[in-house]
């Protein structure tokens, strides 16, 4: 069995996936995505682009999303290292609007974040981060929310020496952010 579990988290739609490693004397093998298993667990999406990033300890990337019609669902993995991964509900009318789910991710786990959520993560140590997305990157549809928006209140684990891109330093709070998602 390639996947040990699909665990639904506090906000419907967000799913923590634990995959199985098949070790032998050479190392291990793991299936990171198998369409039939994801369909069986109510994740009916296919992926069109795969991204890889490397982040040093303390780096925060996000909170990012793309507007419709280029909205992205993301299946995210830590290849090495550890991160604190966050999904924020930005669907107008949702009972969870402005709430977030945060999980610690390390190799062996993935997080499914459907369209309608802003996504971000903080590297707790140097980390390689892989993500599969349901639509291609579209700069004109890309938006972001301030990483430390007090109304959302993400509790980032690493408080000292936070590293942000210039773009992420300029993101607006959620109440001023452009969104076109409905619940």
Report which DSSP code applies to 68.
T
Three-class DSSP category at 174: helix
Q: Which residues are catalytic?
A: 64, 131
Measured CA distances, 83 to 89, 130, 137, 163, 167 (Å): 20, 12, 22, 14, 20
Beta bridge partners of 66: 142
Query: CA 51, CA 24: separation in Å to the nearest integer?
Result: 28
pLDDT at 142: 98
pLDDT at 1: 73
pLDDT at 2: 83
Whether 92 and 36 have beta carbons less than 8 Å apart is answered as no
CATH of region 3-176: 2.60.120.10
Q: Each residue's pLDDT tens digit in the chain (183 positions)?
A: 789 999 999 999 999 999 999 999 999 999 999 999 999 999 999 999 999 999 999 999 999 999 999 999 999 999 999 999 999 999 999 999 999 999 999 999 999 999 999 999 999 999 999 999 999 999 999 999 999 999 999 999 999 889 999 999 999 999 999 999 999
Q: CB-based burial of residue 36 (10 Å sphere; 0-12 exposed, 13-18 middle, 19+ buried)?
A: exposed
Per domain, the residue ranges of the chain are 3-176
Question: Of 36, 34, 96, 90, which is closest to residue 66 (Cα–Cα)?
Answer: 90
The single residue listed with the structure tokens 């669902």 is 73
Q: Taking the C-alpha atoms of 117, 118, 123 and 128 in order, what is their torsion angle to the nearest 10 degrees? A: 70
């Amino acid at each position: 069995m390639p996947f040990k579990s699909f665990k639904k988290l506090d906000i419907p739609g967000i799913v923590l996936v634990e995959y199985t490693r098949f070790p032998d004397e050479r190392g291990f093998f793991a299936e990171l995505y198998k369409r039939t298993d994801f369909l069986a667990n109510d994740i009916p999406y296919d992926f069109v682009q795969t991204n890889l990033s490397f982040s040093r300890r303390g780096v925060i990337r996000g909170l990012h999303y793309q507007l419709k019609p280029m909205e992205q669902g993301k299946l995210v993995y830590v290849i090495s290292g550890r991160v604190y991964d966050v999904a924020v509900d930005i669907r107008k009318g949702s009972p969870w609007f402005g709430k977030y789910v945060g999980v610690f991710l390390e190799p062996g786990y993935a997080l499914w974040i459907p369209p309608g959520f802003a996504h971000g993560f903080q590297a707790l140590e140097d980390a390689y981060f892989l993500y599969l997305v349901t639509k291609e990157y579209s700069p004109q549809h890309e938006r972001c929310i301030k990483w430390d928006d007090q109304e959302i209140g993400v509790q980032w684990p690493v408080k000292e020496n936070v590293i942000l891109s210039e773009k992420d330093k300029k993101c607006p709070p959620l109440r001023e952010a452009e969104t076109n998602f409905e619940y």
